[in-house]
């Protein structure tokens, strides 16, 4: 059997931080996760349940949950509502037993894009094969939720304690694995440093010319660095690449263009530029004064005409 939870994009995104979804009240008390509403207004921040439905109610975002990952003890029917149930525990995602429906391709693409700029969201890729697109029309549960108020859960503190323990262990495992996957040895660090040095050198060429009046100095140094990077890359990866050859060719083109730009700037740059600058400032001030005089004369003429016209009418 499948259950469905309607949710908005921000709360769905936040759930991928911990790979779990909890009743709203839990987020006020446990040591992780954001205090976010799931179809419940801020005035109802003591509600200790999630709303499960036996049918998709047609929001833009819906979580489809297999009942095998739910504790049936905490699934309670809602009076006079045959398709809706409350669930007073945290739901932990499990690959293959949860799916995520998006109403359109654009919503799915936007969701993934947002996840890539949030450091805390680490598990999107793990569940991405369970994302699917389908537009469903139905009654929004947010309207139905207004019909019943707060509930009290005696087990809440126990659930929150388990959530904290689970997230602590899970966070440690994820942190360790990611650290192992992204760690690099001395040779890798050396290669990265050399590439960054070349990048900074390339980007500084135009600054040297435009600000410091310095032509490209010692171009052979850049060529040597690129050759060293190419050799080090091969020693580490054991694979050939022509990327550094392309960079060498690009550098020579940039160097030639920079030399031409430098020569052109030197031709037009005066040795007494301070004097030229002062002269231009003086001309600017003179023009501003002339414009001001014209404006004053025009305003005075207009005022005089208006005044005489009014006097004649009298």
pLDDT digit of tens for each residue in the chain (314 aa)? 999 998 888 888 888 888 889 887 787 777 665 544 444 455 555 678 888 999 998 889 999 999 999 999 989 998 888 889 999 899 999 999 999 999 999 999 999 888 877 766 667 888 999 999 998 886 655 444 444 545 556 788 888 888 888 888 887 887 787 777 766 677 788 888 888 888 877 777 777 777 666 777 777 888 888 898 888 888 888 888 888 898 888 888 888 887 887 777 777 666 666 677 788 888 998 898 888 888 887 766 665 565 555 555 45
- Residue 132 pLDDT: 94
Q: Is the distance from CB of 140 to CB of 59 less than 8 angstroms?
A: yes
CA 134, CA 216: separation in Å to the nearest integer?
A: 58
Q: What is the pLDDT of residue 235?
A: 86
Directed axis angle between helix 219-237 and helix 243-268, to 10°? 160
Nearest-angstrom CA–CA distance, 111 and 118? 11
C-beta separation of 50 from 86 below 8 A: yes
> Which helix (H) or strand (E) is 161 found in, with range?
helix 156-182
DSSP state of 95: B
| pLDDT for residue 47 | 74
Sketch the domain layout of the chain as residue ranges. Answer: 2-182, 186-268
Q: Order of strands, edge to edge, in the sheet holding 131-133?
A: 75-78, 81-87, 50-53, 2-7, 61-66, 98-102, 131-133
Cα–Cα distance measured from residue 237 to residue 246, given in angstroms and rounded to the nearest whole number = 18
pLDDT of residue 37: 44
- Nearest CA to 130 among 94, 99, 95? 99
Nearest alpha-carbon partner for 127 in 114, 112, 143, 140: 112
Do residues 93 and 174 make contact, with C-beta atoms less than 8 angstroms apart?
Answer: no
Would you state the pLDDT for residue 280?
Answer: 85
Backbone phi, then psi, for 21, in 5-degree steps?
Answer: -135, 130
pLDDT value at position 193? 85
Alpha-carbon span 282 to 45, nearest angstrom: 68
Distance CA 231, CA 279 (A): 56
Model pTM score:
0.55
Task: Quote the DSSP letter at residue 67.
Answer: G
Q: What pLDDT shows up at residue 172?
A: 84
The pLDDT, as a whole number, for residue 105 is 94
In this prediction, residue 39 carries a pLDDT of: 45
Cα–Cα–Cα angle for 154, 158, 163, nearest 5°?
130
Q: How far is residue 134's CA from residue 111's CA, in Å, rounded to a whole number?
A: 15
Query: For residue 64, what pLDDT is reported?
Result: 96
Helix (H), strand (E) at residue 83: strand 81-87
- Judging by beta carbons within 10 Å of its beta carbon (0-12, 13-18, 19+), is residue 95 exposed, middle or buried? exposed
């Amino acid at each position: 059997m499948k259950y469905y939870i309607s949710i908005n994009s921000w709360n769905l995104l936040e759930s991928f931080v911990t790979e779990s979804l909890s009743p709203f009240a839990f987020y006020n008390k446990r040591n992780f996760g954001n205090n976010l509403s799931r179809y419940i207004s801020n005035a109802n921040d003591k509600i200790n349940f999630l709303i499960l439905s036996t049918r998709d109610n047609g929001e833009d975002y819906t979580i489809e949950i297999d009942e095998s990952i739910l504790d049936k003890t905490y699934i309670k029917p809602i009076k006079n509502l045959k398709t809706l149930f409350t669930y007073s525990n945290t739901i932990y995602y499990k690959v293959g037993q949860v799916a995520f429906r998006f109403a359109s391709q654009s919503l799915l693409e936007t969701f993934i894009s947002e996840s890539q700029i949030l450091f805390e969201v680490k598990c999107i890729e793990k569940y991405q094969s369970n994302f699917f697109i389908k537009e469903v029309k139905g009654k929004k549960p947010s309207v139905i939720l207004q019909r019943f108020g707060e509930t009290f859960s005696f087990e809440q503190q126990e659930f929150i304690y388990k959530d904290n323990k689970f997230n602590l262990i899970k966070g440690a495992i994820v942190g360790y694995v990611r650290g192992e996957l992204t760690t690099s040895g001395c040779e890798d660090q050396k290669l990265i440093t050399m590439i960054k040095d070349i990048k900074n050198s390339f980007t500084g060429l135009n600054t040297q010319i435009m600000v410091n009046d310095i032509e490209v100095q010692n171009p052979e140094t850049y060529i040597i660095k690129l050759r060293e990077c190419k050799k080090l890359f091969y020693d580490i990866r054991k694979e050939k690449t022509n990327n550094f050859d392309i960079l060498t060719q690009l550098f020579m083109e940039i160097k030639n263009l920079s030399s031409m730009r430098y020569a052109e700037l030197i031709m037009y740059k005066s040795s007494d530029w301070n004097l030229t600058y002062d002269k231009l400032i003086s001309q600017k001030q003179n023009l501003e004064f002339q414009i001001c005089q014209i404006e004053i004369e025009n305003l005075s003429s207009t005022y005089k005409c208006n005044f005489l016209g009014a006097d004649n009418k009298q």
